[in-house]
Amino acid sequence: DTEVTQTPKHLVMGMTNKKSLKCEQHMGHRAMYWYKQKAKKPPELMFVYSYEKLSINESVPSRFSPECPNSSLLNLHLHALQPEDSALYLCASSQGRGRGFSNQPQHFGDGTRLSIL
Amino acid sequence: GENVEQHPSTLSVQEGDSAVIKCTYSDSASNYFPWYKQELGKGPQLIIDIRSNVGEKKDQRIAVTLNKTAKHFSLHITETQPEDSAVYFCAAKVLYNNNDMRFGAGTRLTVKP
């Protein structure tokens, strides 16, 4: 079992639906990440939150909207997605303390497998 | 930006043999190199990492070596077992790019009993 919990594990939605992915960690980490992973490909970074503030947005379409309500929670709000958005969405966290946090390990959840009809 | 190349893309070994996966990176500023194992239906799991001030690190059957001059690092698994079968990703951390971490394309390792 991982220490980063993602819900739901699977999600099927239509292109007009609005849904949210949730991620939770209780390791006291202050940096949290969203990645997208297509089949047989490595994870691709989407968003980074550091101390609850968005620090990196890798030119992700606005139909993906991240939210970090507190240091333990990370959400990804989905709206008007396209079939090509079907993928495994991974959440990760790392310590995120001070300037040295750039080389701290990231811990991943098991992801939400998203299918867009 | 950082570019990480990983090879081979697939690797098949007999149980008990060793497996080696190699990665190269392009940005000399990278200072942190983790390796992840991803099993079917799971997220990537950190198995070992190395920082640029160290040339080699070992944890039981797993070892990682780093050559900063050549900008390459390798994962070595000895005495492989069927449960080592998975996709392995290397990654390199770009120091000045906040939290950005670049992954290699992955290696599918199959250990035959």
pLDDT at A58 over 90: no
Closest CB to A103: pick one of B32, B89, B103.
B32
For A70-115, the pLDDT digits (tens) are 989 999 999 999 999 999 999 999 886 555 555 678 999 999 999 9
pLDDT level of residue B22 (50, 70, 90 thresholds):
very high
DSSP letter, residue B18: -
What is the pairing mode between strands A53-57 and A44-50? Answer: antiparallel
Mutation site, A108, A112, A113, interface B, largest B CB count within 10 A: A108
CA dihedral (B4, B8, B13, B17) in degrees, to 10, reads -50
Which residues from chain B sit within 8 angstroms of residue A50, using beta carbons? 98-99
Q: Tell me how close the Cα of B79 comes to any Cα of chain A, in angstroms.
A: 25
